[in-house]
Chain A
């Protein structure tokens, strides 16, 4: 059997079945961001004319003995001109262990892949630099999660009560035996991700460079 890793990253694709529900309206050219901080970063990259792609590649990071992919990792952004992936994780530091583990695994398996992890503190520092610290505090962690009934514009108005996990498109399917009672299944979150566009606000203000 050939090594499944040799295939490299695979393109993101919607699940074959069941068919996804009809998509919400999306601003032309704007992907459905899972978190408002991702939308904010996309706007910063746009402002500085840095090309980006949203979750274009999925990297398998764990296989069973039959070669089936058990776990994968889809970095949030790919910056083609810089050949750099960027993963945003705006959760509180103590909750990012799982993502750190995935990142370590990715780096072991794909040493040539350049990836930058943006922690909550990095995002806050970025917002502080641009005079938008208050926004960073509102958008950090689960309070920045986008849901069908809570689009990006509403997130700017105020945070929700935080929850504990932000999920990841590369997460394995949930184990019903171990899932916390009442916890949303990753599959549900993924469908939300695809259905919940965070429309990039149209334009950004400009202020004098520091």
Chain B
């Protein structure tokens, strides 16, 4: 049986408040609306972390927009059971050929996943491909990728909430917070 977790008690600090997130999402939505007016825009969200951001962002955009969802596997260590390569777990449900695509991410740190996704999506011949992320951790970047829309540039700390998880929990927090180190130390 799962041990009960006190979500709020496990958070040491609120890094980005709910109000700040909502205000920034509105700003991003307005910018994106201006930039894509008169164009066929498709928002592509990467599951699972970007779901809350996607849900809020699409409602802050006032031009016609399609949405689609993708899910990719993440590195998880040693086993003998899989191919050892990143895989598309859920592909796009419609063609993006000729569409203006905006990839919506929750957070960019190393850029490894994003680098893979960009290469994959470019192969589907969109009219354009841009990146929007709620959070950017530039200090951790390994693959330099130009980000077109950034919510917040944050320091190098492990964050949860507003879609971001630790051990699949904390996604439903309405803010972005920093976990108490003892939470993941105990979990390791």
Whether B84 pairs with A43 at a CB distance below 8 angstroms is yes
Beyond A137-B188, A201-B78, A209-B46, is A44–B84 a contact (Cβ under 8 Å)?
no
List A contacts of B74 (CB < 8 A).
130, 206-210
- In the complex, what distance in Å separates the CA atom of A134 from the CA atom of B184? 10
Beyond A44-B75, A202-B84, A208-B73, is A50–B48 a contact (Cβ under 8 Å)?
no
Whether A209 pairs with B77 at a CB distance below 8 angstroms is no
Whether A204 pairs with B84 at a CB distance below 8 angstroms is yes
Beyond A44-B112, A209-B47, is A132–B77 a contact (Cβ under 8 Å)?
yes
Per-residue CB contact flags for chain B residues 65-87 toward chain A (1 = under 8 Å, else 0) read: 00000011111111111111111
Beyond A48-B75, A82-B143, A125-B158, is A210–B84 a contact (Cβ under 8 Å)?
no
Report A100-124 residues with CB < 8 Å from chain B CB. Answer: 116, 121-122
| Interface size in chain A (residues, C-beta < 8 A) | 36
Whether B142 pairs with A209 at a CB distance below 8 angstroms is no
Closest Cβ neighbor of B165 among chain A residues:
A210
List B contacts of A122 (CB < 8 A).
140
Whether A206 pairs with B143 at a CB distance below 8 angstroms is no
Whether A48 pairs with B113 at a CB distance below 8 angstroms is yes
Q: Give the interface residue-count category, chain B.
A: 35 or more
Report B153-178 residues with CB < 8 Å from chain A CB. Answer: 156, 158, 164-165, 167
Report A52-76 residues with CB < 8 Å from chain B CB. Answer: none
Other-chain residue from A133, A201, A208, A210 in contact with B164 (beta carbon distance below 8 A): A210
List B contacts of A48 (CB < 8 A).
75, 86, 112-113, 115-116
Report B85-137 residues with CB < 8 Å from chain A CB. Answer: 85-87, 89, 106-107, 109-110, 112-113, 115-116
Give the 8 A-B CB pairs with smallest separation, nearest first. A203-B84, A206-B73, A133-B188, A205-B79, A207-B76, A134-B188, A205-B76, A48-B112
Q: Can you name 19 extra interface pairs (CB under 8 A) apart from A43-B75, A209-B71?
A: A46-B85, A47-B85, A49-B86, A128-B184, A133-B184, A133-B187, A133-B188, A201-B78, A203-B82, A204-B75, A204-B78, A204-B82, A204-B84, A206-B74, A206-B75, A208-B89, A209-B47, A209-B89, A210-B49
